[in-house]
Chains A and B, each alone.
Chain A
Amino acid sequence: MSPDNAGGLAVILRRGAGAIAYLVAWTVLGLFFASQAVMYSAYRDRPISWNRTLTPALADAFIWALLALGIYWLAMRVPAGRRHLTAALAIHAAASVMLAVVKVTVWMLLAQATGWLASAPFTALLLGQFHGAVFAYWVILGPCLALRYYRQYREREVRAAQLEARLGQAQLEVLKNQLHPHFLFNTLHAIASLTEEDPPGATRMIAQLSELLRGSLRHIGAHEVALAEELDLVRLYLGIQATRFEDRLVIEYQVEPETLTALVPSLLLQPLVENAIRYGIAPRREGGRVTIGARREEGHLRLWVADDGPGLSPDRSAAGSGVGLENTRARLAHLYGRDQSLELLNRETGGLEVLLSLPFRARTTHPVHQVDKS
C-alpha cells in the first residue's frame, strides 16, 4: 500500500472513530432519559414496556444526533460578535422553531412506522414536544458556539505567534546584515582610512553607524512604524554605503511628503535596499543608482526600491527571494491579508524594481506628541 493510501485510510478510520463516538454519546444520552421512564414505571409499579421507554428515548436521541449537525453547521456560519447579536438571535430563534417542528414530524413518522405509537395526532404531539425541542435546540447550540469561539481564539493565537516569529526573523536578518563582515568590517576599515584623511568625515561615519545599529535595535518588537522612521534608517544605511562606494553609488528619493506618516511594517525597506546594493550596484565597476519611492494611490501606499543593475537573473532570484523576501511576503500577508502585494519587475530601462502595495493608514498621533500635550 502506498503511503498516500495509508494516509487516506488513517483519515477515514479517524473520521469513522469520531462518528462512532458521536453516536455512542447520543446513545448514552438516550439511555439516560430512558432510565427516567423505567424508574417512573417501577415507582408506579407499572410493567416496564420497552416500547414506551427505551424506543422513544433512543428515537429522541438519534433524531437530535442528526439535527445537531444542522445546528453545528448554522452555529459556525451565523455572524458572531456583539454587532450581530440581534441578527444572530433572530436567526437562531427562527431556526429553533423550524427544527422543533421538523423534530416532532420525524418523531411522529418514526413512531408510526415502527408502530410503538398506534395513532399519534400531530397537533397533540407538537403541543407535547415543541417547547422541549426548542429548548433542546438552544442547549445544543451552546457547546457548538463554545467550540466556534475556542477555534477562533486558537487561530488568533497561532496567527499572532506567527506574526511575532516573522517580525523576529526580519529583525534578525537586518541585524545580521549590519553585523555582516562585508558591511561592518569594510565600514570600520573605511572609518580607519577616514581618520587619516578626513577626521570630521570619520566622526560622521561613526555616528551614522551607531545611529543605524541603535535604530535597528529600537525597532525591536514594533510591528509597524511610520514610513518616516523607516526611511531614517534607510538613509543612515545608504549614507554609510555612499561613503564607502564614493562616486559609484547614486541615491534618489521619490517620496511624497504625505506618505511620511503612513504606517509600514518595521524594517521593511532595509533588506530591499541592501539587496539592491548587493546585486544591483556592488558587482558593477561603474556602480549605479538606487531609487526609493513612496506614493499614495487609491487608499494604498505604494513603495518601490529600484536599481539600474543587471536585473533579475537566475542567480539573484534564487538569492533575492530567499529567506529575506519570503519573510517579507509572509509578514505582509499576516499584517494585511490579501490587501497587499510585493512584485519584482525587470525595468525596461534596466535594473530591478521591487514594488510594494499595502493599505494606507496614517499614524494620526505620534507618541512623542502625546507626551508633549499631557
Chain B
Amino acid sequence: MSDRLSALVVDDEALARRRLVRLLRREPGVDRVRECRDGVEAVAAIEADRPDLLFLDVQMPVLDGFEVLEALDPDRRPVVVFVTAFDRYALRAFDSHALDYLLKPFEDERFQETLQRAREYLDGKQAREEHAARLRALVHDRRAEQPFLSRVAVRAQGGLVFVRVDDIEWLEAADNYVRLHTSAGPYLIRETMSRVAARLDPGRFLRIHRSAIVNLNRIVEVQPWFHGEHVVVLHHGQRLRSSRTYAPELRRILQNTP
C-alpha cells in the first residue's frame, strides 16, 4: 500500500471541498491534501505540485472537470476520482471507461472504497497505466463530441492562462508556435497552425493565409487586392493579407454575410 500519498480536491462548493479534505486527512498514508475552488486553479496546482490523486468535481465554473483533464499533459495526469451530483451524461462517460466516481452525497464507506481502488492504481505500474489510458479515452470521446475549443490554455509568466477563443482576434503562425492576438495582448502557444485550425469552429474562425486565421466577428472590412488576394481589416485596424489559396472560402463567407 502506498504511503506518502498527496491528494488534491477540486470543487467550487466549499462545504463539499471541506468534506473530502476531512475524509482524506483521516486516512493513514495521506500526508498532503490541497484544495482548489475551480478548474483554472486546479490545472495550475496539478502542474506545480504533481499530486498522486485528484478528486475532481465535474460541474465547475470556467473550466469543468473534463476541461481540466484536457488541459493536463496526458502522460502526467494523476489518478482521478470524479465527483458529481448525478449528471446523467457524465456518469455514462465514466461508466463506459470504467472510471471511478463518487456520487454526491456519498457515505464515508463509499469514499473509503473508492480511495482503496485509487491506491491500487497508484501501487501497480500496470494498473496505473490502464487508468491513464482510460482517462485518455475519456478525453478522446469528449473531443469527438465537442470538437471545437472554447478556451486555449496558455503558459504565461510562469502560470497558466485560459484564453477564451471568442477573445482571440486572430492567430499568427510563428515557426513551431502560434501567436494568439487578443485585446489583452499576444500569447504564444506551442502548437502548429494546422492543429489549432482543426480545433477551431469554422463558423467562427477562417483561415485566410498559411500563417493567419481570423475571428470572423472581428472583421470590419474586406478589400479586394491584386491577383485574387484580399486585405482583411479587423476591429483594431489590423490589416491582414489573404492568399489566393484561401480566397474561395473568404468569398463564400462574404456572400453569406448580409
Residues of B contacting A182 in the complex (Cβ-Cβ under 8 angstroms): 59, 85, 87
Q: Is the CB of B105 within 8 A of A192?
A: yes
Specify the chain A residue showing the minimal Cβ separation from B20.
A193
Specify the chain B residue showing the minimal Cβ separation from A190.
B15
In angstroms, Cα B87 to Cα A189, docked, is 14
Q: Is the CB of B86 within 8 A of A181?
A: yes
In angstroms, Cα B12 to Cα A248, docked, is 10
Main secondary structure of the interface of B (DSSP, over half): loop
Partner of A188, one of B18, B59, B62, B105: B105
Residues of A contacting B140 in the complex (Cβ-Cβ under 8 angstroms): none
Which residues 266-325 of A have a CB within 8 angstroms of B?
Answer: 282-285
Residues of A contacting B188 in the complex (Cβ-Cβ under 8 angstroms): none
Whether a CB of chain B sits under 8 angstroms from the CB of A191 is yes
Given known pairs A186-B85, A189-B85, A282-B61, the reply for A246 and B14 (CB within 8 Å) is: yes
Which residues 7-23 of B have a CB within 8 angstroms of A?
Answer: 12-16, 18-19, 22
Residues of A contacting B86 in the complex (Cβ-Cβ under 8 angstroms): 181, 185
Given known pairs A181-B86, A185-B104, the reply for A193 and B15 (CB within 8 Å) is: yes
Q: How many residues of B contact A (CB 8 A)?
A: 21
Pair count A-B, CB < 8 A: 62
Given known pairs A181-B87, A285-B38, the reply for A194 and B105 (CB within 8 Å) is: no
In angstroms, Cα B64 to Cα A285, docked, is 12
Q: Is the CB of A283 within 8 A of B61?
A: yes
In angstroms, Cα B12 to Cα A246, docked, is 10
Whether a CB of chain A sits under 8 angstroms from the CB of B40 is yes
Q: Is the CB of B62 within 8 A of A285?
A: yes
Whether a CB of chain A sits under 8 angstroms from the CB of B37 is yes
- Distance (Å) between the CB of B201 and the closest chain A CB? 13
Residues of A contacting B61 in the complex (Cβ-Cβ under 8 angstroms): 282-285
Residues of A contacting B12 in the complex (Cβ-Cβ under 8 angstroms): 248, 282, 285
Residues of B in contact with A (beta carbons under 8 Å apart): 12-16, 18-19, 22, 37-38, 40, 59, 61-62, 85-87, 103-106
Show 18 A/B contacts (Cβ-Cβ < 8 Å), sorted by A.
A181-B86, A181-B87, A185-B86, A185-B104, A185-B105, A186-B13, A186-B16, A186-B85, A189-B16, A189-B85, A189-B105, A192-B19, A193-B15, A194-B15, A243-B15, A282-B61, A284-B62, A285-B38
Residues of A in contact with B (beta carbons under 8 Å apart): 181-182, 184-186, 188-194, 196-197, 243-246, 248, 282-285
